[in-house]
Amino acid sequence: MDKMMTQLFHTKQIKEAKRRMALQENKRISMCKIDKKTESKKILLTKQ
């Protein structure tokens, strides 16, 4: 029984860690997208 509980606990922790990693990755990707958008806006402004 004890082994099962620790196993469950570890899987929960791993899932949580993976989820957190995915969230951070998504944040990074969206930040990159935002950066690119602002870059293109800057380029448009300088062209005018």
Q: Which residues of 6-35 are buried (b: 16+ CB within 10 A; e: fewer)?
A: eeeeeeeeeeeeeeeeeeeeeeeeeeeeee
pLDDT (tens digit per residue) in 8-41: 889 999 999 999 999 999 999 888 888 888 888 8
Query: Side chain identity at 25, as an amino acid letter?
Result: E
Distance between CA atoms of residues 11 and 24, nearest Å: 20
pLDDT surpasses 70 at 47: yes
Which has the higher per-residue pLDDT, 21 or 47? 21
Distance between CA atoms of residues 30 and 9, nearest Å: 32
The pLDDT value recorded for residue 48 is 65
Distance between CA atoms of residues 34 and 40, nearest Å: 10
The pLDDT value recorded for residue 21 is 96
The pLDDT value recorded for residue 1 is 61
